[in-house]
């Protein structure tokens, strides 16, 4: 089946005003500038953009990947797909060995294309090899020393998926873990009390990414640059930002983005309360509350993930951080696709790529979404 869409489109880093995109067999078959649409084309006044890619998402629509059920994983995938995310890394939390195995098994089952809306391309282990002092909303009782055998067993349970692992460099065994698995796992520095030199050392060991920059890590001081400083002066590492206007001040969102051009990825860090009304919810073994403003916090005030969607994150980067949409869109598409290892088929509107497309309205709503050429109802 062939489908054609004509209108303004974000292609090769710029917005082209009159573009015809042809979809065949789930792929983008062709792109060309055309002054007038063919009679059989869908004409849109919204902006055609690549589907968003979220490399750090825990839940949504009342479900969480740590629920370790096919239904929960499918609900998270569907909810975020309807908000413009067409590919993701299903993200776990620090939990018992048995709970992590169960969560990974469920994610692996649902990662088959026919079982999902947004394609689950990877798994992001956010812990358990992190700092108890920088645990944030994670369960301190589940934090432990790095275990090569545990990671090996988890990788074997889902060898077809890309793996990201958030680790704290100062935790026992983390250096050996990174050096052993760096060819198979994207190691991300996060939830850490490391200083600047320890973070730089972790990059030398093979870490290549920073988890939700500024949050749950040592900040930058003019006499001790901290983990944040290590990220900002790195030449190749990538990093994440939670652009909800709460986790990171809009001015800092702008500064960090401009300091790391082409290497900053937007994430949601969304928990099960995303898309749900204010109230009380569960984050693994912790209870948290969502305020009417949409902020999720534990009882002691600690931020507990977010209720973001990627379309809202893009909106905030444009409207709060004041960045041009041409800079922001790659942060939600190309950059995370590269981190997730799918940049050869996702994150861009290009011939031969998966037909993951989104019609983004001027109010940053997801008017229509296609995942591998299939429009979501």
- C-alpha–C-alpha distance, residues 289 and 120, integer Å: 28
**Dihedral sign (CA 243, 248, 254, 258):** negative
**Dihedral sign (CA 327, 125, 252, 249):** positive
Catalytic center residues: 269
**Strands 209-210 and 238-242, sheet pairing:** parallel
- C-alpha–C-alpha distance, residues 154 and 30, integer Å: 39
Three-class SS state of 77: helix
Element (H, E) at 189: strand 185-189
- C-alpha–C-alpha distance, residues 331 and 41, integer Å: 29
Q: Which long-range contacts (CB under 8 A, 24 or more apart) does 132-137 make?
A: 133/193, 134/168, 134/191, 134/192, 134/193, 134/216, 134/217, 135/94, 135/191, 135/216, 136/191, 136/215, 136/216, 136/302, 136/303, 136/304, 137/283, 137/286, 137/288, 137/298, 137/302, 137/303, 137/304, 137/305
Q: Count the residues in the chain.
A: 377
Q: Where are the alpha helices (DSSP H) in the chain?
A: 70-81, 97-110, 148-157, 174-181, 196-205, 226-233, 250-259, 310-319, 325-332, 334-339
Three-class SS state of 51: coil
């Amino acid at each position: 089946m062939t489908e054609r869409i004509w209108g303004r489109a974000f292609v090769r880093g710029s917005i082209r005003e009159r573009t015809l995109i042809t979809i065949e067999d789930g792929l983008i078959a062709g792109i060309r500038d055309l002054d007038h649409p063919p009679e059989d084309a869908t004409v849109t006044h919204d902006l055609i953009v690549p589907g968003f890619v979220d490399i750090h998402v825990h839940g949504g629509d009342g479900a969480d990947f740590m629920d370790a059920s096919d239904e929960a994983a499918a609900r998270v995938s569907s909810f975020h797909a309807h908000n413009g995310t067409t590919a993701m890394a299903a993200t776990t939390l620090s939990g018992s060995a048995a709970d992590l195995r169960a969560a990974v098994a469920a994610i692996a089952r649902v990662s088959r294309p026919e079982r999902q809306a947004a394609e689950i391309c990877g798994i992001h282990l956010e812990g358990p090899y992190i700092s108890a002092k920088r645990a944030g909303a994670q369960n301190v009782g589940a934090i432990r020393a790095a275990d090569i055998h545990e990671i090996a067993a988890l990788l074997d349970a889902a060898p077809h998926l890309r793996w990201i692992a958030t680790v704290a460099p100062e935790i026992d065994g983390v250096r050996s873990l990174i050096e052993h698995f760096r060819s198979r796992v994207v190691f991300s520095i996060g939830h850490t009390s490391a200083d600047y030199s320890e973070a730089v050392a972790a990059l030398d060991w093979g870490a290549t990414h920073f988890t939700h920059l500024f949050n749950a890590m040592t900040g930058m001081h003019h006499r001790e640059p901290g983990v944040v400083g290590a990220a900002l002066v790195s030449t190749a590492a990538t990093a994440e930002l939670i652009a909800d206007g709460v986790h990171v001040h809009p001015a800092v969102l702008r500064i960090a983005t401009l300091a790391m051009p082409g290497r900053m990825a937007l994430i949601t860090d969304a928990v099960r309360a995303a898309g749900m009304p204010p109230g009380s919810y569960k984050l693994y073994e912790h209870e948290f509350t969502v305020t009417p403003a949409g902020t999720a916090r534990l009882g002691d005030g600690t931020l507990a993930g977010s209720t973001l969607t990627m379309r809202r994150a893009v909106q905030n980067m444009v409207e709060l951080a004041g960045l041009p949409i041409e800079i922001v869109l790659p942060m939600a598409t190309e950059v995370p696709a590269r981190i997730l290892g799918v940049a050869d088929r996702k994150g861009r509107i290009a011939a031969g790529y998966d037909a993951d497309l989104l019609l983004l309205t001027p109010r940053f709503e997801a008017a229509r979404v296609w995942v591998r050429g299939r429009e979501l109802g």
